Amino acid sequence: MKITFKIWRQEGANSEGSLKTYDIDGLTEDMSFLEALDHLNERLVLKGEKVVAFDHDCREGICGQCGVFINGRAHGPHDHMTTCQLHMRSFKDGDIIVVEPYRAGAFPVIKDLVVDRTAFDRIIEQGAYITAKTGTAAEANAILIPKEVADSSMDVAACIGCGACVATCKNASAALFTSAKINHLNKLPQGHPEAHKRVLDMTNQMAIENFGSCTFTAACEVECPAGISISSIAEMNARYIKAKLFE
């Protein structure tokens, strides 16, 4: 395959960036998208040029590090898929592929396709954990939890924190991410003692980080690799009202 990449190049957060064009051949449809970027970088090294900086880690769809915009969509052309799970078979020989970093005020560009997503970490620090000393791992049935509750908690715990929800939202809202981290624990008995404090502290930090407000357009749900529903946001809002009443 021969592909034309138009990739955003930006030296640093305070530098001016632009799209640069790269024609690359020798690709195969079995390559992952990140392997295609690796192939491009190898060519750039041989030419003595600076490689394209992009985030990646596990390359198994579970770490959330590889998020970029591909032809105007977070993670690429498919629903519920991470960038590293995308393969070149999704494109045709001769295609032009535009690759850009996530665009959000709370996600400043570090270099090229790499953005700073530590705003998510600071939200997590405000309550996405329990403080009870649990000791060693308990038996699986030591705390009885109804299956529907456990399943519901696991559905939102699937969030990998990639930031696609923020990047695709017209308001750059982090409501889907924050609600997933709140509801994951608040649904379970282990999270009940700090449930009110958790929802107030984490939503407050979300506001401090200058994420936008949610207007329920559901764009985040479409682009979320884990397929987390915007019903999670509605649940967070209900928990927030309850927390304000009973804190």
Domains of the chain as residue ranges with CATH: 3-111 (3.10.20.30), 118-246 (1.10.1060.10)
Q: Tokens 């390559």, residue?
A: 31
In what helix (H) or strand (E) does residue 172 lie, and over which residues does it extend?
Answer: none
Q: What is the pLDDT of residue 71?
A: 97
Q: Mind listing the pLDDT tens digit for each residue in 168-186? A: 999 999 999 999 999 999 9
Determine the residue type at 119. Answer: A
| Burial of 90 from C-beta contacts in 10 A (0-12 / 13-18 / 19+) | middle
Nearest 10 degrees: CA dihedral of 100, 169, 157, 32?
A: -20
- 38 pLDDT tier (thresholds 50, 70, 90): very high
Instruction: Name the DSSP class of 144.
Output: -
Q: Give Cα 132 to chain centroid, integer Å.
A: 28
Tens digit of each residue's pLDDT (9 = 90 or more) over 44-90: 999 999 999 999 999 999 999 999 999 999 999 999 999 999 999 99
Three-state SS letters, the chain: CCEEEEEEECCCCCCCCEEEEEEECCCCCCCEHHHHHHHHHHHHHHCCCCCCCCCCCCCCCCCCCCCCEECCEECCCCCCCCHHHCEHHHCCCCCEEEEECCCCCCCCEEECCEECCHHHHHHHHCCCCCCCCCCCCCCCCCCCCCHHHHHHHHHHHCCCCCCHHHHHCCCCECHHHHHHHHHHHHCCHHHHHHHHHHHHHHHHHHHHCCCECCCCCCHHHHHCCCCCCCHHHHHHHHHHHHHHHHC
Q: Are 67 and 55 in contact (CB under 8 A)?
A: yes
More confident residue, 214 or 13: 214
Q: Say whether pLDDT at 214 is over 90.
A: yes
141 pLDDT exceeds 90?
A: no
**Interval 89-115: pLDDT, tens:** 999 999 999 999 999 999 999 999 999
- The C-alpha atoms of residue 120 and residue 173 are separated, in whole angstroms, by 12
In this predicted structure, what is the pLDDT of residue 140? 66
Q: What is the dihedral of CA 79, 83, 86, 90, to 10 degrees?
A: 70
Sequence-ordered list of residues with C-beta below 8 angstroms from that of 47, at least 6 positions apart, any chain: none
Q: How far apart are the first and last CA of the chain?
A: 60
- Residues 33/84, Cβ–Cβ less than 8 Å: yes
Quote the radius of gyration of the chain (alpha carbons, Å). 20
Q: Mean of the per-residue pLDDT values for the chain? A: 95
| pLDDT at position 137 | 74
The phi and psi torsions of 30 (rounded to 5 degrees) equal: -85, -10
